[in-house]
Structure 1
Amino acid sequence: MFNLIRNQLQVYSKKANLKPVGQVLSSQLILQALSFGIGIILVRELPKTEYAIYSILTSILAILSILSTSGIMIGFTKIGGEIWNDIPKLSSLIKTASSIRVYLTAGAFLISGIYGYILLSEQNISLPQIIFFLICVLLVVIPEIFKAFISEALLLRKEIFTVQVVQLLIQASRLLSLGLIFLFYKELLSISLVLIITVVSTWIGYFYIKNKSAHLFDTKAQIDVEYKKTLLHYIKLIWHNELFFAFQGQISIFLIGIFSTSNSLADLGALSRFSIIFNVLASLIGNIYGPKFAINQNIKHLKKQFYQLVILLLVSSVFILSIANIFPNLFLWVLGPKYSELNIELSLVLILGSLNLMVTGISSLNQTKGWIKYRTYFEIPMNIVVLACGIYVLDISNLKNILYLSILVSCANIILCITNSVYGFKTYLKT
């Protein structure tokens, strides 16, 4: 296994500069350590009832982020991959995309707010608290309207360092604030305070990246009609898929929130802390593989990048799952005594994380080239069939069964992603 990873790195190093990879890996190791520190403080110190609320809010934030993107990033990356070295055009693209995403975010907040209200009401949260929680979530997403496009533009230009620093800045400020409260004012630690800290940290990150990306903005840049047309084309093409995907990705939280208990919701949220294990690889894909794939126009090189990514993800997932199965008690010890009996659930969560990483990785490459044909037509019906069959067969009030259901859905999505890739390579050969 280690020889395979080493050989892959040796092959890649002959064809590419490994400095960006090293930058991403080192910064991501720090970033994930910071994230893990934040997560462990919350998992260990918050009561299960409050951590259940935190899990719901994380779910709302994920849905809001997906819906407010809703295909626009596909168009942005596709156009950006062609004009990345032309500052005036890139500046115009950023301005055009940001203007559209303002409206997407408003609609997304309405939908995710209804979803959040339903789940939070099931936890007997009062209406004023629900409103406060939802406003905080919105304030976290608002800076993303602009920060996401700035980050993608920087990545296309291979200015990776700034993107990594802003992520570290956000998480470091969160961990520092929570750590100080934990050490000196432990009795004040609550969901509300965690949200306020997150909002402030997110805005700090936004102002930092805005300052560091000033060279990308041309004062004469205007909204471009052709760019807008392309962006709207991709939004219209897959908005319904994004809407479905946003909720399908949170199906575990939703089903547990409706049909199970706060304890199960907290258990799932706690185990999900280990998803940061896969975030380093996901960041490599988003920061290195995706932009490189986007600007590459050679079909032979594209295929090689694709195969290397799949092999890397497979080997990494097998390694992670093996370690977790050998030392499950060590993983659960980190979460604390409240979660010490979740051995089977731990394995299922990590399997699900591995499968989702594969979906994320292949989808990211497909999207940079606009290879989404089968996703447009088959993603929703395929997922509905899998979900319906799973709900019919399994007892969805049980956490393990909900994880089994999510694994089935992820397997189906991997098949769809690969089908899109095969079709994309075939059509690329004809152009």
Structure 2
Amino acid sequence: MKVSEPILKILNNPKYTRLIHWGKLITITGGSQAIVQATGLVSGIIVIRLLPTQQYAWYTLANTLLGTMGILADGGISAGVMAQGGKVWQDREKLGAVLATGLDLRKTFALGSLLVAVPLLIYLLNRSGASVITILLIVAALIPAFFVALSDSLLEIIPKLHQSIIPLQKNELTVSIARLMLSTLTLFIFPFSYIAILASGLPRAYGNIGLRKIAYSFVSKQQKPDLAVRKNILFIVKRILPGALYYCLSGQITIWLISIFGTTNSIAEVGALGRLAVLLNFFSVLISTLIIPRFARLENNKKLLLTRFFQIIGTLLIFCLLLLTVVWAFPEKILLILGNQYAGLEKELLINLIGSSIFLIGAIIYNLYTSKGWVLKPLVSISISICAITTGIIFLDVSTVSGVLWLNIFIAAIQLVYHTTYAVYKLVNI
């Protein structure tokens, strides 16, 4: 069949080709992420519904500390690997050296992370009424998940830089389905927090094996850590680590405050509401997989970078507003997902998702500018955040669920302002 000349012009137009390319990427990534996030949400709901309130409170504390351990063990290494990898992503040997250096640094940071986080977890679990045996079982279940997460965030940078999306999404899809199946099979029989942690961690360990295969198809596995690369990564780490250490306290401020001033039920309620914020993960993963690696690869052209920056943030803002509109319109129906023990939290649900949306936008802006190797001085960011937290604690009742959620909004808004200001400043002054 002969194709008419006008259609041929459209088909050969670079803009049309780019549109089709992005359409395929978004369809593949968005489709698989819809399934991943849906299975993740179902897995979370199963955990919420099957675990008694006290067990779920302990599960929430353990997951919070797992996130803290991951932040401490990273300390900015991922940002350094992304920034350095973005410069040499087409060179198999050099990219292999970047990955090897990042993994080597991560091992060193892991020990310090364990020494800090595990005693804190033991203290919080004991304060929440967990027995010695329960505490030991939770810690034992948490450590394997921690060590798997150590390499995950670095290994996935390689296929992201090469935009090898399909293998990456298949791996994540396999892990999420396995987690759902394992959680369903085990928690019906053994409704304990440490079982829920194992059911989440074991599939990730299997996925880590596949992730290594994907990453090492693009880099030389024989490469050793490089001193020059190590120096460049550590330069970024030195700028990010103080902020990361501070973030370990401020990033989960709602959990820390409610675990100290609130009740076990309040911990469970904050944790359950946080599960519904997984809806925002769809946008977060989509941007971190498709957008941020491409932003890291862009040349330092002021006009181009500013255009891309505002396109990304504007699109994300629209999606967040649409999601918040749905939650505002149907809060009771959404809360039915969590179960009867969490009914009546309509106001808290909306407040929580507003805070999570603001935090997500700020985090994406932070990831965008750190992907270019730019880091705000820790003294500035930490000072501003400490002032925000102190002010919020003075004027808000942090012993209640709604009080700590409003505090979260206040802190997230302040962080969004200074991340945006710094990003625009760096982009304008390229």
Indicate the TM-score class for this superposition, using the shorter chain for normalisation: over 0.9
Deviation at 1:12, TM superposition (A): 11
Report the counterpart of residue 191 of structure 1 in structure 2.
193
> Are the structure 2 counterparts of residues 12 and 316 from structure 1 closer, same or farther at C-alpha, using a change threshold of 3 Å?
farther
Residues 59 and 197 in structure 2, CA contact (< 8 A), matched pair in contact too: no
Deviation at 1:179, TM superposition (A): 2.1
Which whole-Å CA distance do the structure 2 matches of 1:426 and 1:159 have between them? 31
Is residue 181 of structure 2 the alignment partner of residue 176 of structure 1?
yes
Q: Which segments of 5 or more consecutive residues in structure 1 lack a partner in the other structure? A: 1-9
Which whole-Å CA distance do the structure 1 matches of 2:226 and 2:163 have between them? 24
**TM-score normalized by structure 1?**
0.92
Report the counterpart of residue 8 of structure 2 in structure 1.
none
How many residues are treated as equivalent by the alignment? 415
> Could you give the per-residue CA deviations for residues 279-338 of structure 1, whole angstroms, max 9, x where no partner exists?
010011110110010001133221121111111121111111111111111111111111
Deviation at 1:397, TM superposition (A): 0.7
**TM-score normalized by structure 2?**
0.93
- Which among 29, 43, 48 is matched to residue 53 of structure 2? 48
Report the counterpart of residue 61 of structure 1 in structure 2.
66
- Which among 88, 92, 96 is matched to residue 91 of structure 1? 96
Deviation at 1:386, TM superposition (A): 1.1
Give 3-state SS (helix, strand or coil) of 1:17's partner: helix
Give 3-state SS (helix, strand or coil) of 1:370's partner: coil
- Which among 369, 385, 389 is matched to residue 387 of structure 2? 385
Which whole-Å CA distance do the structure 2 matches of 1:373 and 1:194 have between them? 38
Which whole-Å CA distance do the structure 1 matches of 2:268 and 2:342 have between them? 9
More off after superposition, 214-223 vs 47-56: 214-223
Report the counterpart of residue 335 of structure 1 in structure 2.
338
More off after superposition, 36-45 vs 162-171: 162-171
Which whole-Å CA distance do the structure 2 matches of 1:311 and 1:212 have between them? 32
4+ aligned runs moved over 6 Å, structure 1: none
Residues 258 and 399 in structure 2, CA contact (< 8 A), matched pair in contact too: yes
The 5 Å alignment of 1:224-239 reads 224-239=226-241
> Are the structure 2 counterparts of residues 12 and 102 from structure 1 closer, same or farther at C-alpha, using a change threshold of 3 Å?
farther
Report the counterpart of residue 368 of structure 1 in structure 2.
371
Residues 371 and 420 in structure 1, CA contact (< 8 A), matched pair in contact too: no
Which whole-Å CA distance do the structure 1 matches of 2:209 and 2:288 have between them? 22
Amino acid at match of 1:319: L
Report the counterpart of residue 314 of structure 1 in structure 2.
317
Amino acid at match of 2:309: F
Deviation at 1:105, TM superposition (A): 1.2
Which whole-Å CA distance do the structure 2 matches of 1:362 and 1:396 have between them? 28
> Could you give the per-residue CA deviations for residues 16-64 of structure 1, whole angstroms, max 9, x where no partner exists?
6332222211111000011011011111121111111111111011111
Residues 45 and 337 in structure 2, CA contact (< 8 A), matched pair in contact too: yes
> Could you give the per-residue CA deviations for residues 249-304 of structure 1, whole angstroms, max 9, x where no partner exists?
11100101111001111111111111111001001111011001000113322112
- Which among 399, 402, 426 is matched to residue 400 of structure 1? 402
Residues 52 and 191 in structure 2, CA contact (< 8 A), matched pair in contact too: no
Report the counterpart of residue 154 of structure 1 in structure 2.
159
Q: State the identity %.
A: 27
Residues 257 and 398 in structure 2, CA contact (< 8 A), matched pair in contact too: yes
More off after superposition, 240-249 vs 132-141: 132-141
Report the counterpart of residue 329 of structure 2 in structure 1.
326
> Could you give the per-residue CA deviations for residues 177-196 of structure 1, whole angstroms, max 9, x where no partner exists?
122345xxx23232122222
Residues 371 and 423 in structure 1, CA contact (< 8 A), matched pair in contact too: no
Give 3-state SS (helix, strand or coil) of 1:143's partner: helix
Amino acid at match of 1:365: L
